[in-house]
Structure 1
Amino acid sequence: MADDLIARIRLIRSSSIGPVTYRQLLARFGSAAAALDAIPDLARRGGGKAPTLWAQGAAVREAERVEQLGARYLVLGQGLYPPLLAQLDDAPPLIVAKGDLGLLDRPAVALVGARNASAAACRFARGLAHDLGAEGLVVVSGLARGVDAAAHDGAMDSGTVGVVAGGVDVFYPPENEARQRAMFERGLVLAEMPPGKEPRARHFPYRNRIIAGLSLGTVVVEAAPRSGSLITARLAAEAGREVMAVPGSPLDPRARGCNQLIRDGATLVQNAADVVEAVRPNRPRVQSPSEPFETADEGAASDVESLLGPSPVPVDEIIRLSGAPAGAVQMALLELDLAGRLDRHAGNKVSLRQD
């Protein structure tokens, strides 16, 4: 088994190391193995205790389980990884994939909505997914009840990708087991979590960013205010992707989220042609290269820390106010992060963790 893959598994499964920190460590040290060796010293310089590193044996067992399942890893920065998803600052470093990887080479649209969706919404989602497939688009959703399940069913013959919040071998909700098994054979199932991991509430927003990140645009069919589907729509907008919504009756609370999205500027969708018109002009954005990391001297690190507080602030603002090179600021933030003293937020914002 490849040593680099095991090192990558160890790095991302280690406590307090999320996708942003992982990406910065690899940019700074060139390999996961070198990053693992450097973490204790970085944490010491950040004024804290080093995070607990994932054991070699646990990483080997995870990789063996993935192989036993007939799945494989998609590794950020390597060939099979979806290029649109890689554009996200917090793109998952490793994805476990089971099914037809060829679907990742085709343009995709996310189709999401309420778990307790109306019969009319499910019927519409199923028909819309079928029609999008006929237009050559892959339909991405979250293998949940309601609209998600209908979307997968409508696109099963043309191509559909399901993103789960737990392990790729965990069937949640249980009534979706037959659908998920069918997608292993006729579609594709993706998971950021390791095999066997049961989904928790905190995992679903992370799942939602993958759904949005894989897709040229996100269509919300039916959603109440403050629903998970609206989180997916917000993440799509933050990633610069198209946000679309199907209007509903003002008398149905399940339609309020969609109607509000349209009021806020989302594209109104009534059929597949509307979706195609919205996403076809889009092209993947060219990702600018990351700023090279520089060693943060004690003065720069102190300046960066003094600019941080409990309220999230954009990293670009820290760079501007500190006057230090961008790479040095990123290094100082990385040291604070590994020391357990930094919180990272959406929109590339950071704050100092409060004791």
Structure 2
Amino acid sequence: MHNSVPFTIPELSSMKRTPEKLYYRGNLGLLNRPKISIVGTRRPNPYTRAITLELSKKLSLSGMVVISGAAAGVDAIAHQGAGAENTIAILPCGIDLRYPAANSELIEAIESHGLTMTPFEPGFAAREWSFVVRNEIVVALGDVLIVTEADIGSGSMRSVEYALAMGKQIYVLPHRLRESAATRQLLREGKAEAIDDIDIFVALMSQRGRNSIDDTPFVSFCRNAPTYEEVMVKFPNEIFEAELSGLIEVRNGRVVVV
């Protein structure tokens, strides 16, 4: 069994092209909780595997929902660390297909206890371009993006491009020389921050999540990184005061909460 819903998820408004319909299995209530996206290579080194598992587990225990793409490697580890009941898997295929097959048991557990979603019709087999759509949804749904390991030119870096365009904050793990060249490049260019202490980072994200629950309608709207024009239409009076006070910033034409 699967269900479908018309597009009603505010976070997806930051996508270039929002899906008209989403198919899902599981608990839609997870969408109402603070969410963090975690992505990375399909072939993580032992350090990345261990830290991704610890990080996702601690984020989950602090009340955060972990979002990823159910792929091999970092995605699967992030889902496993969070626990099926605290994770959302975005699929690159129809909701009735479990891709990749190697992760079918994991995806089945998420269907039963967490949430799987896809914009693709039942029976649709994953294609190269559908992974790109999947990645954009993963990024859009999360409050921030964590990239635990990635190579230059990889799919994870396409996710980074989406995050930058949406005004999302990006975090990476500190890596040794000759490892995870793409995330080290992001640090050099000032496009990401390093997670130097997992417990401090989790506490920061947890507090941010609690704050989002108490947001005013204006701040809640801005947390989805809308365009400046969209905010002007909906909150013409609040935006100027918020900008002057430093509550928000405009990055790449989108409004983000500082």
Q: Which bin holds the TM-score, normalised by the shorter protein?
A: 0.7 to 0.9
Alpha-carbon distance between aligned partners in 2 of 1:290 and 1:209, rounded to the nearest angstrom: 25
Match of 1:267 among 193, 196, 201: 193
Query: 1:275: Cα distance to partner?
Result: 5.3
CA contact (8 A) 1:85 1:214 kept: yes
**Aligned residue in 2 for 1:63:** none
Alpha-carbon distance between aligned partners in 1 of 2:61 and 2:205, rounded to the nearest angstrom: 16
Residues 1:107 and 2:34 are matched in the alignment? yes
TM-score by length of 2: 0.78
| 1:153-176: CA deviation from partner (whole Å, max 9, x where unpaired) | 001155100001111121221110
CA contact (8 A) 1:132 1:272 kept: no
Aligned-residue CA RMSD (Å):
2.2
Alpha-carbon distance between aligned partners in 1 of 2:39 and 2:116, rounded to the nearest angstrom: 16
| 1:206-227: CA deviation from partner (whole Å, max 9, x where unpaired) | 1111001101110000101111
**Aligned residue in 2 for 1:193:** 120
TM-score by length of 1: 0.57
Residues 234 and 273 of structure 1: CA distance in aligned 2, closer, same or farther (over 3 Å): farther
Alpha-carbon distance between aligned partners in 1 of 2:81 and 2:231, rounded to the nearest angstrom: 39
How many residues end up aligned between the 2 structures? 218
Mapping 1:252-291, distance limit 5 Å: 252=179, 255-265=180-190, 266-270=192-196, 271-274=198-201, 277=204, 280=208, 283-286=219-222, 287=226, 288=230
Mapping 1:232-271, distance limit 5 Å: 232-252=159-179, 255-265=180-190, 266-270=192-196, 271=198
Residues 203 and 120 of structure 1: CA distance in aligned 2, closer, same or farther (over 3 Å): same
CA contact (8 A) 2:84 2:109 kept: no
State the one-letter code of the partner of 2:41: A
Residues 96 and 133 of structure 1: CA distance in aligned 2, closer, same or farther (over 3 Å): same
SS of aligned partner of 1:95: strand
Match of 1:90 among 2, 10, 17: 17
Greater Cα radius of gyration, structure 1 or 2: 1
Residues 98 and 272 of structure 1: CA distance in aligned 2, closer, same or farther (over 3 Å): farther
Bigger mean CA deviation after superposition, 81-90 or 99-108: 81-90
Alpha-carbon distance between aligned partners in 2 of 1:125 and 1:170, rounded to the nearest angstrom: 26
| 1:43-63: CA deviation from partner (whole Å, max 9, x where unpaired) | xxxxxxxxxxxxxxxxxxxxx
Alpha-carbon distance between aligned partners in 2 of 1:238 and 1:285, rounded to the nearest angstrom: 17
CA contact (8 A) 1:244 1:275 kept: no
State the one-letter code of the partner of 1:165: P
Mapping 1:1-355, distance limit 5 Å: 69=1, 71-76=2-7, 81-156=8-83, 159-252=86-179, 255-265=180-190, 266-270=192-196, 271-274=198-201, 277=204, 280=208, 283-286=219-222, 287=226, 288=230
Query: 1:136: Cα distance to partner?
Result: 1.1
State the one-letter code of the partner of 1:256: A
Alpha-carbon distance between aligned partners in 1 of 2:74 and 2:199, rounded to the nearest angstrom: 16
| 1:57-92: CA deviation from partner (whole Å, max 9, x where unpaired) | xxxxxxxxxxxx2x211212xxxx322123434121
Alpha-carbon distance between aligned partners in 1 of 2:25 and 2:84, rounded to the nearest angstrom: 17
Bigger mean CA deviation after superposition, 256-265 or 282-291: 282-291
Residues 260 and 209 of structure 1: CA distance in aligned 2, closer, same or farther (over 3 Å): same
Residues 275 and 243 of structure 1: CA distance in aligned 2, closer, same or farther (over 3 Å): farther
State the one-letter code of the partner of 1:85: L
Alpha-carbon distance between aligned partners in 1 of 2:14 and 2:132, rounded to the nearest angstrom: 18
Alpha-carbon distance between aligned partners in 1 of 2:84 and 2:93, rounded to the nearest angstrom: 25
Alpha-carbon distance between aligned partners in 2 of 1:273 and 1:168, rounded to the nearest angstrom: 37
CA contact (8 A) 2:58 2:202 kept: no
Alpha-carbon distance between aligned partners in 1 of 2:81 and 2:104, rounded to the nearest angstrom: 17
Residues 161 and 127 of structure 1: CA distance in aligned 2, closer, same or farther (over 3 Å): same
CA contact (8 A) 1:130 1:158 kept: no
Alpha-carbon distance between aligned partners in 2 of 1:218 and 1:289, rounded to the nearest angstrom: 23
- Larger RCO: Structure 1 or Structure 2 (Cα < 8 Å, ≥ 6 residues apart)? 2
Alpha-carbon distance between aligned partners in 2 of 1:248 and 1:289, rounded to the nearest angstrom: 38
Query: 1:124: Cα distance to partner?
Result: 1.1
- In structure 1, list runs of 5 or more residues that go unmatched: 1-68, 292-346, 349-355
SS of aligned partner of 1:202: helix
State the one-letter code of the partner of 1:262: L
